[in-house]
Amino acid sequence: MTKLQPVRGTQDLIGEDQRRHAHVVATARRIAALYGCAEWSTPIFEATAVFSRNLGETSDVVTKEMYTFDDRGGDSITLRPEGTAGVCRALVSNGLTQTLPQKIFYTGPMFRYERPQKGRYRQFHQIGLEIIGAAEPLADAEAIACGWQILRELGITESVTLNINTLGDRESRDAYRTALVDYLSRYEADLSADSRVRLVKNPLRILDSKDAGDIRLLADAPMIYQHLNATSAAFYEGLKTTLTRLGLDFIENPRIVRGFDYYNHTAFEFVSTGLGAQGTVLGGGRYDGLVEQMGGPSTPGIGWGAGVERLAMLLAATPAVERMVAIIPLSEGEQGVAIDLLNRLRGAAIAADLAYRGNLKRRLDRANKINANHAVLIGADELARGAITLKSLDDGSQREVAIADLISALR
């Protein structure tokens, strides 16, 4: 019989892996709530148009990486490759464009068919934040600050640097695109094959090229800040001033781009050296045209996403397992009382467990395996006095405690 294994690019989250994953999500959820975010959960699959509109019909994600299929009704369905599109669709579908701004936190699995590598899977998990309906640079600064605080609470900011850029408004972006195409067209023959295609379809994406030849050509390319109009320049200055007031250090990086027209103004990345090669662990930007593409009214938005697997790998230590109390009856005659005490402790929010079988030695061995900090030993003599023996599994000390006082003694 063939031994079944996880599908390539997927993993089982068990033990330390699960505890790291859960810690990242719980930390992000707690910090996002401090910023006034409500948590939304959108479907794992959507109509394919939700993502093809958001990511562009010719993008690598749409053409090569999306898990797309026709369901039994003949509708084209896609497993979500990212979270922002579903959130914007939900905003429109649920009629929430009249109650803005909305601050949203989300978490869950995403799916992309790409080459599995360290920290990257075909089923991966993201945390994300969106602030929809706020056009001010303060919203951008708040989104960035929330991301920074999550990273700080996870203890990974020492290896992380905040990079920011501006894409300007539509007018500034169009002027910059024209200047960039004029410059790169002179060197079209020297561009990589991918960049020659992008020169026609999406020239700003060339700025993100990893090809060594492209990088050399870009060294003398025009910069976006040279083409900002007064409105865009003021927005960018407002962002930088607010970030400084919030105590966030940043590097201005003109190579951070977003390829589609609904992106504008702010683009940012938190870049880490903690995974070996430099890599982005959290990134996002402003997308004032996306809700409109989803069929809603013109609505500003700013957001970011981060891979849980990558963040979990950067944690300095695995969160400890919660300590438990082991309930141990010394004979079958005390089993009923053991069940009663187990129920009482759990009802008082004290983690407790009861081994199903075994003598005292085997039950104590199990108590150590589950990292219990105390054992409640239930014997006939103690029960006759309305008491139990409470044993510390850390130092071996033990004392008799009245059953009525057990919960307070454990606390």
Angle of CA points 377, 380, 386, to nearest 5°: 80
Which residue do the tokens 């930088």 mark? Answer: 240
Q: Which of 127, 111, 64 has the alpha carbon at shortest distance from 310?
A: 127
How many CA atoms within 13 Å lie on the side-chain side of 395? 3
Distances from the Cα of 47 to the Cα of 50, 58, 305, angstroms: 6, 17, 21
Q: Which residue in 284, 55, 254 sits closest to 167, CA to CA?
A: 254
Angle between helical axes of 16-34 and 137-153 (0-180°, round to 10)? 140
Decide if 401 contacts 409 (C-beta within 8 A).
Answer: yes
- Selection from 139, 123, 119, 120 nearest residue 131 by Cα: 139
Would the annotation count 42 as a binding residue?
Answer: no
Say whether 114 counts as a known binding-site residue: no
Residue 112 assigned ligand-binding role: yes
Beta-bridged to residue 60, according to DSSP, are none
Report whether 53 belongs to an annotated binding site: no
Tokens 């003598």 correspond to 359
Known binder of ligand: residue 18? no
Token output for 249: 């250090």
Torsion of CA 257, 207, 161, 101, to 10 degrees: 0
Look at residues 261, 308, 321 and name the one whose alpha carbon lies nearest to residue 286.
261
Whose CA is closest to 263, among 179, 135, 199, 173? 173
130 is annotated as contributing to ligand binding:
yes
Q: 372 near 353, Cβ under 8 Å?
A: yes
* 82 annotated ligand binder: yes
Pairing type for strands 123-132 and 160-166 reads: unpaired
Report whether 258 belongs to an annotated binding site. yes
> Which residues are documented as binding site for L-histidine?
82-84, 112, 126, 130, 258, 262-263
> Which residues are documented as binding site?
82-84, 112, 126, 130, 258, 262-263
